[in-house]
Amino acid sequence: MKRNSRSVKIKLDSLNRETFIKREERVESRRLPQKTIGIIGRPNVGKSTLFNRIAGRRISITADTPGVTRDRIEALAEWGGHNFKVVDTAGFDAKDDLLASKMREQVLRLMDSADYFILVTDGISGLHPLDGIAADILRDKGKPFAAAVNKIDTAEKELSVYDFYSLGAGSVNAISASHGRGVDDLLDTVLKELDFTETPETTEIVDERIRIAVIGRPNVGKSSLINAWLGEERVVVTPAAGTTRDAVDTYFTYAGKDYTLVDTAGLRKKSVAFKNSLDKLGYYRSIEAIENADIVAAVIDGSEGIGERDVKVIGDAWQVGRAVILVINKIDLAEGGSAEKLKREVSEKLFFLHNPPIFFVSAVTKKNIFKIFKAADTIMNEYKKRIPTAKVNELLEEALAKHTPPIVHNRRLKFYYMTQAGVKPPHFVVFVNFPKAVHFSYERFLVNIIRRHYGFNGVPIILSIRARSGRNNEVKPSKEENND
| Tens digits of residue pLDDT in 126-139 | 999 889 988 988 88
Complete domains list, the chain, with CATH: 5-23+208-383 (3.40.50.300), 31-192 (3.40.50.300), 389-483 (3.30.300.20)
CB 439 within 8 A of CB 433: no
Give the residue ranges of the chain where pLDDT is below 70.
1-33, 58-71, 93-107, 197-207, 233-248, 266-283, 334-337, 469-484
Instruction: Please tell me the predicted confidence (pLDDT) of residue 279.
Output: 53
SS (H, E, C) the chain: CCCCHHHHCCCCCCCCCCHHHHCCCCCCEEECCCCEEEEECCCCCCHHHHHHHHHCCCCCCCCCCCCCCCCCEEEEEEECCEEEEEEECCCCCCCCCHHHHHHHHHHHHHHHHCCEEEEEEECCCCCCHHHHHHHHHHHHCCCCEEEEEECCCCHHHHHHHHHHHHHCCCCEEECECCCCECHHHHHHHHHHCCCCCCCCCCCEEECCCEEEEEECCCCCCHHHHHHHHHCCCCCCCCCCCCCCCCCEEEEEEECCEEEEEEECCCCCCHHHHCCCHHHHHHHHHHHHHHHHCCEEEEEEECCCCCCHHHHHHHHHHHHCCCEEEEEEECCCCCCCCHHHHHHHHHHHHCCCCCCCCEEECECCCCECCCHHHHHHHHHHHHHCCCCCHHHHHHHHHHHHHHCCCCEECCEECCEEEEEEEECCCCEEEEEECCHHHCCHHHHHHHHHHHHHHHCCCCCCCEEEEEECCCCCCCCCCCCCCEEC
Contact assessment for residue 319 and residue 424, using Cβ atoms and an 8 Å cutoff: no
* Predicted pLDDT of residue 248: 67
Residue 63 contacts residue 49 (beta carbons within 8 Å): no
Task: Provide the whole-model pTM.
Answer: 0.64
Give, in order, the Cα–Cα distances in Å from 363 to each of 95, 111, 213, 268, 372: 28, 26, 16, 22, 12
- List Cβ neighbours of 376 (8 Å cut-off, separation of 6 or more): 210, 212, 259, 295, 297, 325
Report the pLDDT value the prediction gives residue 289, as an integer from 0 to 100: 83
| Angle, helices 98-113/129-140, rounded to nearest 10 degrees | 40
pLDDT digits (tens, 9 = 90+) for 441-475: 889 999 999 999 998 999 999 999 998 865 544 43
Q: Is the C-alpha dihedral spanning 36, 37, 41, 45 positive or negative?
A: negative
